[in-house]
Structure 1
Amino acid sequence: MTGSSRAVEVLDPGLTTLVQDAGRPGWAHVGVGRSGAADVGAWRAANRAVGNDEDAAALEVLMGGLRLRALAEVEVAVAGARVAVTVDGAEPSPGAARQTGAATTLRLSVGNVLVLGRPERGLRTYVAVRGGIDVPPVLGSRAGDRLGGIGPAPLAAGDVLLVGDAHAPRGDRLPDGSPPDDPALDDAVLRVEPGPHAHWFEPRWPGVLCAPEGFVVAPSSDRVAVRLEGPPILRTPRAQGRELAPIGLVPGAVQVPPDGRPVVFGVDHPVTGGYPVLAVVRSSDLDLLAQVRPGDVVRLALALPRVR
């Protein structure tokens, strides 16, 4: 994606805006995690809505607030957490300013300023530009890994981002307002399967982990891990004080440190960890995990392991 003179300028990145793509798989053996978009479904929907290749880099915006100025005519799509979308301070279509959950597409002329409001629910919104965000790749990916410090840094006011040349889409282009559905966060339920160290915990652990009242998402949660506040999950007497050799981790791994409060790893998780893994969130629920925010109540439901 080189040779294009099209660009957009970041006027305000909001709380945090990152460049993300599909991540960099295949480097765990040297201590580099995959990273990439936290809500893969929303990232893909935004890219498909503007006809991008599926590996195109887009912007991942935390809690809205992004202000982006077009330095050339560009087409953008917004998907993910619900936010009000305005252009030059006005609504981009008749009626109230758009509330995006599914992909919303817009054409920006030179000088137009795209503004994302604060999400009414959900956490992360994705902004794709036709042609993709063209920043230098690191280890084959344009993803910003917050834990590893690899890839582009969080965006700052004044940053100018080149936009790649638009090519014919490989797949079907989604019309404005197409799926995926808006994140269903009113009652977030994550399905989990028993992990490799479930036997380290008291037999009543499913009743604690999957209690109807759920857990509250802690303020310290981020792309590395969602930390849950609630009743502690206790080890068996035999496992108390026992140490575990470092093991490989995956997104959705539910690790339980000595304080008994579960930690659910996200896309920027460490490659290895040394605390027992009680359970693992099903991969189909990881997009929902990416959209829960501090203060949300999360419930976990124990699912039977799938036959592979």
Structure 2
Amino acid sequence: MSALEVVRPGPLALVEDLGRPGWSAVGVGRSGAADRAAYQLANRLLANDEGAAAVEVTLGGLEVVARGGDVWVAVTGAPVDLVVGTRAADPYAAVCVRDGERLRLGMPRAGLRSYVGVRGGVDVPAVLGSRSRDVLAGIGPDPLAAGDVLPIGRPPAEYPRVDAVPVPPFEDEVVLRVVRGPRDEWVRDPDGLVRTGWTAASQSDRVGMRLDGPRLALAVTDRQLPSEGAYRGAVQVPPSGQPVVFLADHPVTGGYPVVGVVVDADVDRAAQVRPGQRLRMRWV
């Protein structure tokens, strides 16, 4: 059986798939790839099932070696310089890593998270029906470390129909579309969310992107909201007044007011915003 042996994991490398829906009643969120569109594109380039597990790499630096046979990979998401053995390879393309060759990912030129899809998928044991690592709940495969060996599943019967696709643009300042509410009356000036620009804070992670900027003052200070269901893309305002955009590993409930919700397609774009990068929001 072919496999990938981890030489260097980089800052953070996680096995992710489409997540584990249906467990929120027992306190377990869906999790899954932070940028679902990029993850699914990697699988399409390899003719995988759409839910085949891949490796989510934050800020590059991953190095792996093919073991037990040739391995076909496709790297999407944040565009990186790829080296296979001694030759350069293109991102957003199906690439063959020969048995014993090393695949290296450089630092992304833009964006935050890259996805290494493998033809056949990463075949680690599933937890509650998913191979995703949930960093908040602490379930799923551990973050990758040097020496880990990732078994690869049986390749699909179909072959890829394209060799490569164009690398999408990554903006210097991201604009996220947001719908209002449902608790915008708990904030004195909810339009402050779209009136100004924000900076992604260094504390951002897969749980949520914390925003630095003007404080959004709460209109209700003498009581608290009861905890209610939380949603991917929700923009929550804690007592600090600095909003948080919930991402893949958000909690299943929350008690701070939600002033808006990022349009679902734009949550993938939010997952590619680097700490220190500027962004804006606009109502839709």
Residues 1:234 and 2:217 aligned together: yes
Rounded Cα–Cα distance in structure 1 between residues aligned with 2:198 and 2:163: 36
Residue 276 of structure 1 is aligned with which of 257, 266, 283?
257
Aligned to 2:206: 223
Q: Is the 8 A contact 1:16 1:62 kept in 2?
A: yes
Residue 186 of structure 1 is aligned with which of 172, 179, 187?
172
Residue 251 of structure 1 is aligned with which of 223, 226, 232?
232
SS of corresponding position for 1:111: coil
Rounded Cα–Cα distance in structure 2 between residues aligned with 1:302 and 1:263: 17
Residue 241 of structure 2 is aligned with which of 244, 247, 260?
260
Structure 2 counterpart of 1:57, one-letter code:
A
SS of corresponding position for 1:46: helix
Residue 175 of structure 1 is aligned with which of 154, 157, 162?
162
Residue correspondence of structure 1 range 31-46 to structure 2 within 5 A: 31-46=27-42
Rounded Cα–Cα distance in structure 1 between residues aligned with 2:218 and 2:129: 41
Q: List runs of 5+ in structure 2 lacking aligned partners.
A: none
Instruction: Single out whichever of 241-250 and 183-192 deviates more from structure 2.
Output: 183-192
Residues 1:300 and 2:272 aligned together: no
Residues 1:200 and 2:186 aligned together: yes
Residue 183 of structure 1 deviates from its aligned partner by 4.8
Rounded Cα–Cα distance in structure 2 between residues aligned with 1:220 and 1:36: 20
Rounded Cα–Cα distance in structure 1 between residues aligned with 2:211 and 2:35: 19
Residue 149 of structure 1 deviates from its aligned partner by 0.6
SS of corresponding position for 1:11: strand
- Listed one character per residue, the Cα deviations across residues 73-114 of structure 1 (whole Å, up to 9, x for unaligned) are 11111101010011124313xxxxx3x3xx221111111100
SS of corresponding position for 2:269: helix
Q: Which ranges of 4 or more aligned residues in structure 1 deviate by more than 4 Å? A: none
- Listed one character per residue, the Cα deviations across residues 264-302 of structure 1 (whole Å, up to 9, x for unaligned) are 000100000111111100001011011001000010111
Aligned to 1:57: 53
Aligned to 1:288: 269
Residues 1:135 and 2:108 aligned together: no
Structure 1 267/183 Cα, relative in aligned 2: closer, same or farther at 3 Å?
farther
Residue 69 of structure 1 deviates from its aligned partner by 0.3
Residue 178 of structure 1 deviates from its aligned partner by 1.5
Rounded Cα–Cα distance in structure 1 between residues aligned with 2:174 and 2:260: 17
Residue 176 of structure 1 deviates from its aligned partner by 2.6
SS of corresponding position for 1:91: strand
State the number of aligned residues: 283
Residues 1:209 and 2:193 aligned together: yes
| CA RMSD across the alignment | 1.3
Residue 174 of structure 1 deviates from its aligned partner by 4.8
Structure 2 counterpart of 1:127, one-letter code:
V
SS of corresponding position for 1:42: helix
Q: List runs of 5+ in structure 1 lacking aligned partners.
A: 93-97, 304-308
SS of corresponding position for 2:271: helix
Aligned to 2:17: 21
Q: Is the 8 A contact 1:209 1:300 kept in 2?
A: yes
Identical residues among aligned pairs (%):
51
Rounded Cα–Cα distance in structure 2 between residues aligned with 1:37 and 1:174: 24
